[in-house]
């Protein structure tokens, strides 16, 4: 969360308006806060410390793309923290 806040401040210094949502809890997560933010900003970047594929961020991205597509001006993007590695077990 801290890195997201730092990045948002850097973006705002460059004239880019940013809204950061801290879900705090994944079960249940605050879907209404996500809906309101998407309708307000029309863009989404999901930053999380999990694998890019098959993680909770992917599920949120899929739900946003499915249920809020008409409000999006660009595809939902997911980013990971630098150096994060997740091994899939066989």
The DSSP code sequence of 20-66 is ------STT--HHHHHHHHHHHS--EEEESS-SSSSHHHHHHHHHHH
- Of 27-31, 42-46, 52-56, 65-69, which range is least confident? 52-56
pLDDT reported for residue 29: 83
Mean pLDDT confidence for 14-43: 87
- Which pLDDT does position 89 carry in this prediction? 55
* pLDDT greater at residue 49 or residue 75: 75
- Tens-place pLDDT, residues 59-85: 899 999 999 999 999 999 988 766 555
pLDDT above 80 for 53: no
């Amino acid at each position: 969360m801290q890195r997201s806040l730092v990045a948002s401040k850097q973006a705002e210094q460059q004239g880019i308006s940013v809204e950061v949502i801290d879900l705090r809890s994944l079960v249940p997560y605050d879907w209404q806060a996500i809906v309101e933010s998407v309708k307000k900003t029309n863009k989404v970047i999901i930053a999380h410390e999990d694998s890019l594929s098959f993680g909770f961020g992917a599920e949120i991205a899929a739900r946003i793309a499915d249920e809020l597509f008409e409000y999006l001006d660009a595809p939902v993007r997911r980013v990971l923290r630098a150096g994060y590695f997740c091994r899939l077990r066989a």
